[in-house]
Amino acid sequence: VRAGRFLVHGGHDRGEARPNDIAIEIEAGEAFGTGHHGTTAGCLLAIERVVKTRPVRNALDVGTGSGVLAIGIARLAHCPVLASDIDPVATRVAVQNVRLNGVAPMVEVVTAAGIEHRLFAVNGPYDLVVANILAGPLVALAPAIAQRVAPGGTVILSGLTTSQQVRVAAAYRRQGLLPAATGIIDDWVTLTFARP
């Protein structure tokens, strides 16, 4: 799956990568995030836009699933990424994918519900926070995510449909974050916010 410079592929498609591609190898498996879903592709496109326009010195990937977004950030921004998921199976898969893609020195994977664990505070605040989860958890996590993003930082949210967009966007605007971009792929929305 191509999303901007990113090419997300399985092992059988390694030869498809072009010289300027940022190739991410992810096998379809037990964790969400092979690049085929509109939310994953939307996040990758938003990550590419953000990294082109502002420095990203560290990042947080909430609900990492397969680790595809954390890997993409590390490969493109060359910065440390903290990747978390509530599901220990997902974090096990993410660790494997991080190693497979050669970004283990940059990506730390942790199993955690929410983002209250002390590790989130120690590694933050973050220039970029990405959360590709469901609309309900996105709304519930709005205050915590807003607290973790650095001044001048960016938040990318996905996992919501066009019918859920207004509710999720309102939750983040209430936290003082400013809408910066909206992308829609197959009725799946990716929202980008900036912290002043």
pLDDT averaged per 10 residues in sequence order, the chain, 196 residues: 86 80 78 65 96 96 96 97 95 95 97 89 95 96 97 97 97 98 95 97
Reported pTM:
0.92
Q: How far apart are the C-alpha atoms of 86 and 108, rounded to whole Å?
A: 15
In contact, 75 and 103? CB cutoff 8 Å? yes
The Cα diameter of the chain in Å comes to 46
Phi, psi (degrees; rounded to nearest 5) at 170: -60, -40
What CA dihedral angle connects 125, 75, 162 and 168, to 10 degrees?
Answer: -10
For residue 7, give the nearest of 60, 99, 72 by alpha carbon: 72
Q: Which pLDDT belongs to residue 35?
A: 52
Coil vs helix vs strand at 54: coil
